[in-house]
C-alpha cells in the first residue's frame, strides 16, 4: 500500500511543477532566515550570520535536487533534460551534427533498402488465403524444383485425394490469342488452366461462373472466362457479357464468367486477360510435359504427411510408366512461396551482408567523430566531474546525444532507403516477383518500421556507447595538469582502431563488388554461339483453322519471309518456335536399332525455318542446314548440335544416322517420322548465358506433324528473326507492315537481340549495381574516416609540429612523418580486410561465373585501389602539417 501511495505521489509530482518550485524556494529561504536570526542573536554580524547559516544548511541546489528526487519521476525528468541539452549541443555544432546525420542516413538507408525487399519477398505471406497450404507439385531428385507435368502425371496427382485437394493444371508461359471483333484485331493475354485452378488460387467471380469439369474435357464446347480488367476495357463493364461469344484465333468461344484476378497472380506482371480450359483427358497416358501443377494440402493434413504420401506414390507411377522416372527421382511438393522466391535467398543474403558492412563502417565513422568531439569537450566534462557529476550521469548525457543522432539518422535513412530502392526497382528490368512492375508493391509496414527503429538503436549503441565511456573517463589530476587539452597521437589509439576497422570492412565489400564485376564481364563476353549485332525479333500468334496443318503454317511463313527478304536493308530472315536465351522444349529420342537408356536420351527440341542459322550466324560444322526443299512431302530431316553429337555419338559420325523424337510420349507426336541427321550445328547457350550448352535437336517447321502444329501453335508464338545491314530499329515499321499483310495478324514484342541478352542478365546486373554502390559508399566512408582522423591529429599536434619546424625540422620530413602514420593504419586495415575477404569469398561462389572466388587479380587490384585512396586521404592533412607557422602555433597555444 505504501508503494502504491508513493507511486501516486510521484505521478502527481509531474504536475504543478512551477508552484512546487516556488514553495520549495520559499521554504529554503525561511530556513535560512531562521538560521540567520539565531546567529545574529548569538552575537554575529549580519554578514557572518548569513555565511554561517549557508554553511550550516549546506548546498542549496543539492537540497533542491534531493527534494526533487522524492517528487515526480527523476529518471524521466533527467532524460528530458538530457534530451534538451543534446538538442542545444547539436544545434551549436551544426557541421558535426550534419556530417554524422548524413553518414548514419547512408548506412541505415542502405540497410533499410535491402531489408524492404527481403521483407516483401521472404517475410511477408503470399497475398492469398491460407498461403501455407498452397503447394507446387514437382518431380525429379529430392530437392528438385521441376514443376513440368504431363497429362498422365496430372491424373496421378489428382488421384492423391487423401492429402491433396484442388489439384490444378496451368500453362505458366506467356501466351496470347488473337481477338477479332468487328474491325478490331488485337492480342489478348491468355492463361490456360484447369477447372479447379480458380478455387485453388482464390479468384472472386464477379459475374457468371468459372469452368465446369465437363467443360475442361477434350472436345467440350469452347468457353472462356474474362478478367475484370479486359471486361472493363473492351466491353465497357457490360454485365450481360455472360453467354455472348467472342472470336479467338478464328473460333467462337462462349463467355461463361468474369473474374477478379487475385493480387497473387498480378504480382508476377500483367495478369491474363482471358482464361481458357486445359481440356485434358483424365484417362490420358500422354507423357509429354508442357504445363505446371499446383494444389492445396487438405485441412488437418500436415505438410510432412502430404510429402510422404507423394514419395510413396512415386513407385506406383514408376511401375505404370517404366523409364519415365529415373532411379533417384521421386514425386514431391514445395510451398509455392518457397518456389517463387526461394531462389533469391543467396543473392539477398549477400546483399544483406553487404549493407551490414556499410552500416558498421558508418557506425565506426560516427564513433570516430564522437571521439574527436569528446576530446574537444574534455574541459566541459572535466568541470562537470569536478563539481560532482557522477560518471554514469555523464555517460547517460553523452549517450542521449548518440541516440538522438541515431533516431534522426534512422528517420532520414528510412526515407532515403525506401525512395532509393523504389527508384532502383523502377529503373531495373530484373523482374523480381512480388515487387510489381516498378517496385510499387514494396511498401512500408510495421516490419520495416520496426527494423529501422531496431537498427537505429543498435547503431546508437555501436557508435555512441564506447565514445561516451571513453570521453567520461577523466582523471581530474591529469585534467588540471594539461589544462583540458586533447590527447596526442599516442592517446588516439581508439580512433586509429576504428579507422583500421573501416578500412578492413571496405576491403571486404570492394572484393565482393570486384568479383561480381569480373563475373558479369565474363558472363557478357562468354561465347554465346550466336551473334546479336543488327538482329531483331518479333512474334505473331499463328492460331486459327488456317494454321491447323503444318503445310498452311509453312506457306504463310514462306510468304512472310519472302516479303521480309525483299525489304532493302534486310540481310537475312527466318522464323522459329524459340530464339536463343529463351530456352527450348525438351523431348526424349532414340535411334532405331540403337536405343539408349531412358535417363540419357533427353535433348532440347527446337522448331525452325530455313535461314535460322544464317540470321544468328550459328555455324554449321558439318553437313547442311535446312532449305526450302525440306517440306512436308520430302524425307524428314533433323540437325543436331555439337554437344549432342559428342555426348551420344562417341566414336563415330552421326551424319546419316536416323533419329526418332518423342514417339510414344505425346499423342500429338504419334505421327512423328523417323528423321535423318543431315547437319551438325554449333552450340548455342539457349537456356541462359551462365548455363553450358545442352544437347539440342532442330527440326524444320514444315515437317512438324499436323496434330502437334494444330495444338502447339494454337496459343504459342511464332518468332520472326531478322538481320539487317544497319540499325534494325529503322526498319521496324516496314517489317511490321509486311508481316501484318502476309499473315493478317497482329505483330508484337519488337526487341533487338542485344535487348534480349541484356534482359537475360537483368538480375545479375541489379545485384552488381547494388554491390558497386555499397562498395563505393564503403570506400568513401573509409576515406572520410582516415582523412578526419589525420586532420584532427594534425590539429592536436599543432604546437608540437610548430616547435619542430621552429627548431629547424625539414617541412618535407614533417609531411612524410604524418603520411607514414596515416598509411600505417590504412595498410593494417588492408591486410586485415584481405584476410577476412579470403575467408569469406567462398560465400559468393554461387553468384560467380567463370571467376574464382579467390581471384588473384581482384585480391591485388582492391588493395592497390584502397591504398591509393588512403594515400590521398592522408596526403592533404600531411601537407597542411608541413605548412604550420611556428609563431602562429605557439601564439595559439
Q: What is the pLDDT of residue 638?
A: 94
Per-residue pLDDT at 152 exceeds 70 = yes
Q: What is the mean pLDDT of residues 824-853?
A: 85
Domain annotation covers residue 846: yes
The 10s digit of each residue's pLDDT in 720-740 is 999 999 888 888 889 888 988
Strands 602-608 and 696-700: parallel
Q: Are residues 687 and 545 in the same domain?
A: yes
Of 327, 343, 359, the last residue of a domain is 343
Q: Any idea of the CA torsion for 651, 654, 656, 662, to the nearest 10 degrees?
A: 140
Name the most confidently modeled range: 36-40, 516-520, 686-690.
Answer: 516-520
One domain, residues 449 and 485: yes
Residue 218 φ/ψ, nearest 5 degrees: -60, 145
Q: How confident is the model at residue 324 (pLDDT cuts 50, 70, 90)?
A: confident
One domain for residues 425 and 370: yes
State which of 343, 377, 407 marks the end of a domain.
343
DSSP track, 585-642: EEEEEEBTTB---GGG-EEEEEEE-TTHHHHHT--EEEE----TT--TTSPPEEEEEH
Looking at residue 291, the DSSP 8-state letter turns out to be B
Closest of 238, 240, 222, 219 to residue 230, by C-alpha: 238
Q: 593 Cβ partners below 8 Å, 6+ apart?
A: none
Phi, psi at 624, each rounded to 5°: -135, 165
- State whether 698 and 616 are in the same domain: yes
- pTM across the whole model: 0.74
Q: Are strands 637-641 and 658-661 parallel, antiparallel or unpaired?
A: unpaired
In this structure, is residue 567 part of a structural domain?
yes
Answer yes or no: do 338 and 412 share one domain: no
Q: What average pLDDT does the segment 885-893 reach?
A: 57
Residues 182 and 172 reside in one and the same domain: yes
Number of domains in the chain: 4
Q: Is the pLDDT of residue 473 over 70?
A: no
Whether residue 111 is contained in a domain is answered as no
User: 625 with 494, same domain?
Assistant: no
Domain boundary among 318, 343, 368: 343
* pLDDT one-digit tens code per residue, 432-464: 766 766 666 777 778 888 888 888 888 777 777
pLDDT (0 to 100) of residue 103: 83
State how far the Cα of 453 lies from the Cα of 460, in Å rounded to an integer: 11
- Is residue 843 in a domain? yes
Say if residue 565 is in the same domain as residue 667.
yes
- Please choose, from the candidates 483, 486, 492, 487, the residue with its C-alpha nearest in 3D space to the C-alpha of residue 383: 483
Strand 175-181 relative to strand 658-661, pairing? unpaired
**Range scoring the smallest mean pLDDT among 19-33, 599-613, 619-633:** 19-33
Q: How far apart are CA 260 and CA 1, in angstroms?
A: 62
Is residue 234 situated within a structural domain? yes
Q: Is 684 within the bounds of a domain?
A: yes
Is residue 240 assigned to a domain? yes
Does residue 484 contact residue 382 with C-beta atoms inside 8 Å?
A: yes
State whether 338 and 351 are in the same domain.
Answer: no
Q: Are residues 720 and 773 in the same domain?
A: no
Task: Let me know whether 25 and 61 are in one domain.
Answer: yes
Q: Based on the domain organization, do 828 and 705 belong to the same domain?
A: no
Residue 115 domain flag: no
Are residues 170 and 191 in contact, defined by beta-carbon separation less than 8 angstroms?
yes
Q: Would the pLDDT of 482 be above 60?
A: no
Q: Mean pLDDT of all residues in the chain?
A: 80
Q: Give the residue, 762 or 637, on which the prediction is more confident.
A: 637
Best CA proximity match to 831, nearest among 866, 787, 856: 866
The sign of the torsion formed by the CA atoms of 432, 435, 440, 442 equals: negative
Rg (the chain; Cα; Å): 38
Q: Which residue has the higher pLDDT, 677 or 540?
A: 677
How large is the average pLDDT for residues 132-138? 90
Residue 66, domain extent: 2-72
Amino acid at each position: 500500500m505504501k508503494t502504491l501511495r508513493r507511486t501516486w505521489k510521484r505521478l502527481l509530482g509531474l504536475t504543478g511543477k512551477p508552484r512546487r518550485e516556488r514553495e520549495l524556494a520559499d521554504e529554503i529561504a525561511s530556513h535560512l532566515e531562521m538560521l540567520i536570526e539565531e546567529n545574529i542573536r548569538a552575537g554575529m554580524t549580519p554578514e557572518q550570520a548569513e555565511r554561517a547559516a549557508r554553511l550550516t544548511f549546506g548546498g542549496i541546489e543539492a537540497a533542491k535536487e534531493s527534494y526533487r528526487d522524492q517528487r515526480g519521476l527523476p529518471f524521466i525528468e533527467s532524460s528530458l533534460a538530457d534530451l534538451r541539452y543534446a538538442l542545444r549541443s547539436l544545434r551549436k555544432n551544426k557541421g558535426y551534427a550534419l556530417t554524422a546525420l548524413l553518414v548514419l542516413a547512408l548506412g541505415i538507408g542502405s540497410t533499410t533498402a535491402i531489408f524492404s525487399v527481403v521483407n516483401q519477398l521472404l517475410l511477408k505471406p503470399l497475398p492469398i488465403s491460407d498461403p501455407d497450404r498452397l503447394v507446387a507439385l514437382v518431380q525429379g531428385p529430392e530437392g528438385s524444383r521441376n514443376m513440368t507435368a504431363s497429362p498422365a502425371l496430372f491424373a496421378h496427382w489428382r488421384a492423391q485425394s487423401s492429402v491433396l485437394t484442388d489439384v490444378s493444371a496451368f500453362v505458366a508461359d506467356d501466351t496470347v490469342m488473337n481477338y477479332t471483333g468487328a474491325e478490331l484485331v488485337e492480342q489478348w493475354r491468355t492463361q490456360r488452366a484447369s477447372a479447379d485452378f480458380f478455387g485453388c488460387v482464390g479468384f472472386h467471380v464477379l459475374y457468371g461462373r468459372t469452368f465446369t469439369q465437363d467443360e475442361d474435357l477434350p472436345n467440350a464446347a469452347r468457353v472462356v472466362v474474362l478478367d475484370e480488367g479486359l471486361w472493363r476495357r473492351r466491353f465497357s463493364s457490360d454485365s450481360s457479357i455472360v453467354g455472348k461469344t467472342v472470336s479467338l484465333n478464328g473460333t467462337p468461344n462462349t463467355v461463361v464468367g468474369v473474374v477478379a484476378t487475385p493480387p497473387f497472380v498480378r504480382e508476377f506482371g500483367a495478369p491474363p486477360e482471358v482464361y481458357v480450359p486445359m481440356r485434358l483427358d483424365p484417362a490420358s497416358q500422354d507423357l509429354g510435359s508442357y504445363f505446371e501443377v499446383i494444389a492445396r494440402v487438405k485441412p488437418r493434413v500436415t505438410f510432412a504427411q502430404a510429402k510422404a504420401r507423394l514419395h510413396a506414390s512415386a513407385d506406383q507411377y514408376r511401375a505404370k510408366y517404366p523409364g519415365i522416372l529415373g532411379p533417384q527421382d521421386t514425386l514431391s511438393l514445395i510451398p509455392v512461396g518457397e518456389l517463387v522466391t526461394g531462389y533469391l535467398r543467396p543473392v539477398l543474403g549477400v546483399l544483406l551482408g553487404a549493407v551490414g558492412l556499410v552500416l558498421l563502417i558508418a557506425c565506426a565513422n560516427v564513433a570516430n567523430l564522437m571521439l574527436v568531439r569528446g576530446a574537444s569537450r574534455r574541459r566541459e566534462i572535466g568541470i562537470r566531474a569536478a563539481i560532482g557529476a557522477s560518471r554514469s550521469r555523464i555517460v547517460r548525457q553523452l549517450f542521449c546525444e548518440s541516440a538522438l543522432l541515431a533516431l534522426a539518422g534512422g528517420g532520414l535513412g528510412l526515407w532515403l532507403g525506401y525512395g532509393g530502392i523504389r527508384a532502383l526497382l523502377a529503373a531495373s528490368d530484373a523482374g523480381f516477383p512480388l515487387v510489381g512492375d516498378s517496385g510499387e508493391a514494396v511498401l512500408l509496414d510495421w516490419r520495416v518500421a520496426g527494423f529501422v527503429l531496431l537498427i537505429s538503436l543498435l547503431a546508437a549503441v555501436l557508435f555512441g556507447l564506447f565514445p561516451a565511456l571513453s570521453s567520461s573517463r577523466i582523471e581530474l589530476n591529469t585534467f588540471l595538469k594539461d589544462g583540458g587539452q586533447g590527447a596526442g597521437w599516442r592517446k588516439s589509439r581508439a580512433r586509429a582502431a576504428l579507422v583500421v576497422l573501416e578500412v578492413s570492412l571496405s576491403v571486404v565489400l570492394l572484393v565482393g563488388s570486384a568479383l561480381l564485376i569480373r563475373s558479369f564481364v565474363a558472363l557478357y563476353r562468354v561465347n554465346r554461339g550466336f551473334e546479336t549485332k543488327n538482329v531483331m525479333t518479333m512474334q505473331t500468334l499463328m492460331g486459327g483453322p488456317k494454321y491447323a496443318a503444318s503445310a498452311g503454317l509453312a506457306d504463310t511463313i514462306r510468304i512472310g519471309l519472302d516479303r521480309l527478304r525483299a525489304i532493302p536493308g534486310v540481310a537475312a530472315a527466318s522464323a522459329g518456335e524459340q530464339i536463343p536465351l529463351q530456352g527450348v522444349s525438351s523431348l526424349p529420342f532414340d535411334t532405331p536399332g540403337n536405343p539408349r537408356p531412358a535417363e540419357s536420351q533427353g535433348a532440347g527440341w527446337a522448331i525452325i525455318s530455313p535461314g535460322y542459322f544464317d540470321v544468328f550466324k550459328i555455324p554449321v560444322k558439318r553437313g547442311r542446314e535446312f532449305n526450302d526443299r525440306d517440306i512436308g512431302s520430302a524425307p524428314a530431316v533433323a540437325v543436331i548440335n555439337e554437344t549432342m553429337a559428342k555426348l551420344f555419338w562417341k566414336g563415330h559420325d552421326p551424319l546419316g544416322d536416323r533419329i526418332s523424337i518423342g514417339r510414344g510420349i505425346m499423342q500429338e507426336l504419334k505421327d512423328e517420322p523417323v528423321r535423318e541427321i543431315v547437319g551438325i550445328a554449333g552450340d548455342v547457350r539457349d537456356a541462359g548465358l551462365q548455363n553450358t550448352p545442352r544437347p539440342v535437336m532442330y527440326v524444320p517447321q514444315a515437317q512438324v506433324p499436323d496434330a502437334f502444329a494444330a495444338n502447339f501453335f494454337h496459343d504459342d508464338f511464332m518468332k520472326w528473326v531478322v538481320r539487317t545491314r544497319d540499325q534494325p530499329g529503322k526498319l521496324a515499321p516496314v517489317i511490321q507492315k509486311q508481316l501484318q499483310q502476309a499473315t493478317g495478324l497482329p505483330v508484337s514484342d519488337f526487341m533487338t537481340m542485344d535487348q534480349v541478352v541484356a534482359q537475360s542478365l537483368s538480375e545479375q546486373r541489379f545485384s552488381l549495381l547494388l554491390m558497386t554502390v555499397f562498395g563505393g559508399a564503403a570506400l568513401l566512408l573509409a576515406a572520410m574516416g582516415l582523412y578526419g582522423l589525420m586532420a584532427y591529429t594534425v590539429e592536436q599536434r599543432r604546437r608540437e609540429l610548430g616547435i619542430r619546424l621552429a627548431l629547424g625540422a625539414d617541412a618535407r620530413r614533417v609531411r612524410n612523418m604524418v603520411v607514414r602514420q596515416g598509411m600505417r593504419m590504412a595498410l593494417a586495415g588492408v591486410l586485415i580486410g584481405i584476410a577476412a575477404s579470403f575467408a569469406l569469398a567462398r560465400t559468393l561462389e554461387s553468384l560467380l561465373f567463370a571467376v574464382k572466388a579467390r581471384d588473384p587479380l581482384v585480391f591485388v587490384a582492391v588493395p592497390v585501389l584502397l591504398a591509393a585512396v588512403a594515400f590521398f586521404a592522408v596526403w592533404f592533412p600531411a601537407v597542411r602539417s608541413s605548412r604550420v607557422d611556428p609563431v602562429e602555433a605557439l601564439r595559439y597555444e
